[in-house]
Amino acid sequence: MAAAVRARLPILYHYLPTPVPYKPALELQERLHQLQLATRRRQSHSQNSSLNEEGNKTHPDILLLLQHRPVYTGGRRQQQWTDELELEQKRLQHLGADWVPTARGGETTFHGPGQIVAYPLFDLGRMSRSIRCYIDDLQSIMQQHVTITHRISTTPSSLTGVFVTPTSKIGSIGVQVRHRLTTHGLSLNITPEPLAWFDQVVACGLPGVRQTSIGAELGREVRIENEIAPLVERFGRGFQREMRPVLEDEEPEVYAMIRELEILGENAGPWLSGPLLSPPTS
Amino acid sequence: MASSRFYSHNPKKYTLDHEWVSLDSETLLATISITHYAQSSLGDVVFVELPKVGDEVKAGEQIGAVESVKAASDIYAPISGVIEEVNSALDQQPSLLNKFPEGDGWLCKIRAANPDEMEILMTPEAYKEHCET
């Protein structure tokens, strides 16, 4: 009975239409993660009482879809501060982007307008999915979006991520798992805007691999807004769950936290559409 | 020294987060790593983040991480104490965690501050059941 109830739980999703700064978005993920963890712990402490009882609410799985303002991020292996890293951070900041170290898997990457970032905040334990399967699931969702929705052919690779050719990559993955709860996720280039930024770094530790985008492959303009519905549907199919928007009435706390970030994005003003390629000589 | 390679004298206890701990009741040194179940869930380990020798940790606190392909999973201290030793072989050979998670792939040794904390951890039988549900 309990398993059937869990299986029917929808994944709650939200799309933030205006690009948001990275650090507050990382904080939002952290707050939602803490909320999920606290709710799960409260629930397991009162397991003997009825599931429907007030105050014994289960934690939702959440999917955030958004774009960032231009930012380079490092992976877990790059957390230790070195002189080399400090120089690299300065160089990238001169290009007009932020640089943020993170605790996810993977190495350096770029996020910015024109690229969809998906943050699935899921309970893998409740889904009975291994971490390895979860990474495969994310990869299939992206790959199917590229090949089925857009009819762009991809090439199989022993590396994680989605490749259009062995040397051009369109989608990347990097996640963190704590107590079986996921943060971070995937990024998929939609318009060509992120590509010049990517050219400034060796992304994912793969020299010789360049990034491409759906727009660049199709040779025509694509709009981010049109990608959201098909991507959400792919998540639903991939994880065999109903997808429902985060509603203020149903999840006031979650909704308020997301809305806070959304407003930050709306008030942040215009962003740089490409790297500043002549850094000040000092 | 050679005897330190054998952990089986001390029964293992397990956490909900799939770590195991084996406490030597004489020296109060507890050896810690992740379970076979945990390593199989991760896939190939490419990097292990270890705690620092001398760090004081509380039960449940994050003490390191294991990175498998594109996923970094945090590891938590099963019991409280001071980090006495870390398995630096994992720096060069992170795959030891896949091959011998419950032996040569140990992560660190903690000098137990409160050995009674072992009591609330899962027995092998309880852990087996935890993995199956």
Q: What is the pLDDT of residue A1?
A: 42
Does the distance separating the beta carbons of B72 and A103 come in below 8 Å?
A: yes
CATH number at residue A163: 3.30.930.10
Nearest to B67 among A76, A134, A173 (CB): A76
Residues paired with A117 in a beta bridge:
A66, A187
Contact A258, A60 (CB under 8 A): no
In-domain check, residue A219: yes
Q: What is the pLDDT of residue A103?
A: 95
Nearest chain B CA: its distance from A129 CA (Å): 8
Give the distance between the most distant pair of CA atoms in chain A. 67
Tokens of B17: 């987060």
Report the C-alpha gap between B94 and A246 in whole angstroms.
40
Question: Which residues lie closer than 8 Å to A219 by C-beta, 6 or more apart?
Answer: none
The rounded percent of chain B whose pLDDT value lies above 70 is 93
| Sign of the dihedral through C-alpha B91, A134, A9, A125 | negative
Identify the three-state secondary structure at position B28: coil
Which residues form the domain of A249?
Answer: 2-39+58-267
Average pLDDT over residues A256-277: 96
Tokens 């006495």 label which residue? B84
- Which chain B residue's Cα is nearest to A179? B17
Alpha helices in chain A, H assignment, sequence order: 2-8, 22-45, 83-94, 124-127, 131-144, 193-198, 214-218, 225-239, 252-267
Count the Cβ atoms, other than its own, within 10 Å of residue B6.
9
In-domain check, residue A52: no
Average pLDDT over residues A252-274: 97
Average pLDDT over residues A223-244: 97
Most A CBs within 10 Å: which of B17, B69, B70, as the mutation test of the A interface?
B70
Domain count, chain A: 1
Question: Which residues lie closer than 8 Å to A43 by C-beta, 6 or more apart?
Answer: A56, A57, A58, A59
Average pLDDT over residues A171-196: 97
In-domain check, residue A49: no
List chain A residues with CB under 8 Å of B49: 76
List chain A residues with CB under 8 Å of B68: 105, 131-132
In-domain check, residue A50: no
Average pLDDT over residues A5-19: 87
Mean residue pLDDT of chain A comes to 92
pLDDT band at A50 (very low <50, low <70, confident <90, very high): very low
Nearest to B69 among A103, A130, A135 (CB): A135
Task: Say if residue B24's pLDDT is above 90.
Answer: yes
- Domains in chain B: ranges and CATH: 11-132 (2.40.50.100)
pLDDT band at A280 (very low <50, low <70, confident <90, very high): low
- Which chain A residue's Cα is nearest to B15? A179
In-domain check, residue A272: no
Q: A152-170 in b/e burial notation, b at 16+ Cβ within 10 A?
A: bebeeeeebbbbbeeeebb
In-domain check, residue A281: no
Does the distance separating the beta carbons of A135 and B47 come in below 8 Å?
A: no
Does the distance separating the beta carbons of A131 and B68 come in below 8 Å?
A: yes
Q: What is the pLDDT of residue A56?
A: 64
| Sign of the dihedral through C-alpha A247, A248, A254, A258 | positive
Nearest chain B CA: its distance from A2 CA (Å): 12
Q: What is the interface pTM, i.e. ipTM, of the complex?
A: 0.89
Tokens of B110: 């903690």
Instruction: Encode pLDDT of A137-158 as tens digits.
Output: 999 999 999 999 999 999 999 8
Positions of E strands within chain B: 12-14, 19-23, 29-34, 45-49, 56-57, 62-68, 71-76, 81-86, 108-112
Catalytic residues of A: 204
Average pLDDT over residues A124-137: 95
Q: What is the pLDDT of residue B5?
A: 47
Average pLDDT over residues A89-101: 93
List chain B residues with CB under 8 Å of A104: 72
In-domain check, residue A282: no
Does the distance separating the beta carbons of A77 and B70 come in below 8 Å?
A: no
- Which chain B residue's Cα is nearest to A184? B71
- Which chain B residue's Cα is nearest to A158? B69
| Sign of the dihedral through C-alpha B25, B27, B28, B30 | negative
Instruction: Encode pLDDT of B44-61 as tens digits.
Output: 999 999 999 999 999 999
pLDDT band at B20 (very low <50, low <70, confident <90, very high): very high
Instruction: Encode pLDDT of A18-33 as tens digits.
Output: 999 999 999 999 999 9
Q: What is the pLDDT of residue A52?
A: 46
Average pLDDT over residues A255-264: 98
Q: What is the pLDDT of residue A82?
A: 82
In-domain check, residue A273: no
Nearest chain A CA: its distance from B4 CA (Å): 30
Q: What is the pLDDT of residue B10?
A: 73
**DSSP state, B15?**
-
Task: Say if residue B4's pLDDT is above 60.
Answer: no
Q: Please, is A30 exposed, middle or buried when counting C-beta atoms within 10 Å of its C-beta (0-12, 13-18, 19+)?
A: exposed
Average pLDDT over residues A56-80: 92
Task: Say if residue A48's pLDDT is above 80.
Answer: no
Cα→Cα distances A101→A22, A86, A110, B30, B67, Å: 11, 11, 12, 32, 16
